[in-house]
Amino acid sequence: GKIIFGDQILDRSVVHIDLEDRGYQFGDGVYEVIRVYGGKLFTAKEHIERLFQSAKKIKMDISMTPERIEDLVAELVKENGVGFGSVYMQVTRGTAPRTHMFPKPDSQTTAVLTAYTNEVPRPERQLESGVDAITAEDIRWLRCDIKSLNLLPNVLAKQEATEAGCFEAILHRSGIVTEGSSSNAYLVRNGEVITHPADNFILNGITRQVLAKLCQENGIPFVEKAFGVVDLLQADEVFITSTTSEVMPIVKVDDKPIGAGKPGGVTRKLQTLFEAKIN
């Protein structure tokens, strides 16, 4: 298949990443995952805008316009004939002799954009039945608002969930729920959707922003406030959102059923509203 490397679309087989790419050595870069539904990119502008925000927060200059990136990504999806899938894209600070400090401005090192596509079906069965989660301590840094390539704590938490036979690890800092290892987390109580505020402790998910708007438009209270693991376990409903998981019901946390142990009414309503957006 084809991929994006820098400013070009090339055959995957001709592209090679240098050993001293700072993404490879330091995780010095940022990324995005964009969903493709029926050959069309979903909320691409929002994802690319967040990519630029993440880059700015790590003082990295992408040296391409958002419009150019969007065009390239759309072209890539077309050339690869993606139907239902995703685009993974990342930008690293480029290739330079390994030292922690940034490459000198005169070193000709520039940020490197790479992107490729995947064919991924919607997780229909799991969206229908709901999935299980564990809770795990959030051991990440204090800038989780940046979609950084450094995902080791997320990887470790997801692996713990997988080994427990669960779909996701819902993270907490000293008992306060932040988000999932690769998703945002919500509870429903008395008809209100409650989720952690979009501060430095979570990634402000694009799906989260779509959901907030859907709630507003449909008279469902969307409350951004911190809640505890205890509240999570006693909630009427729990769900997570992400680009790949959409609005995913959580029916068990740490082996304890949530509500009736099946997807709740508010979650179902939000799933229906979300589906109307992507069709």
**Binding interface with ligand PDD (CB under 6 A):** 33, 154, 179, 182-184, 203, 205-208, 241-244
Query: Minimal distance in Å, beta carbon 37 to ligand PDD?
Result: 14
| Residue of 45, 59, 104, 147 marked catalytic | 147
Query: Minimal distance in Å, beta carbon 218 to ligand PDD?
Result: 19
Query: Minimal distance in Å, beta carbon 151 to ligand PDD?
Result: 7
Among 259, 83, 254, 226, which residue's Cα sits nearest to residue 268? 259
Q: Please give the residue whose beta carbon sits closest to ligand PDD in the complex.
A: 205
Which residue, 183 or 267, has its beta carbon nearer to ligand PDD? Answer: 183
Which residue, 179 or 237, has its beta carbon nearer to ligand PDD? Answer: 179
DSSP class of residue 272 equals: H
Residue 2 tokens, joined: 């084809």
CA separation for the pair 8, 43 (Å, rounded): 22
Going from the C-alpha of 18 to that of each of 55, 88, 98, 107, 228, the distances in angstroms are 21, 19, 12, 16, 44
Q: Which residue reads 């502008």 in tokens? A: 45
Active-site annotation holds for 56: no
Helix ranges, the chain (H): 22-26, 44-57, 66-79, 124-129, 152-163, 206-217, 229-233, 265-278
Query: Minimal distance in Å, beta carbon 31 to ligand PDD?
Result: 7
- Percentages helix, strand, coil for the chain, rounded to the nearest 5? 30, 30, 40
Q: Which residues are catalytic?
A: 147
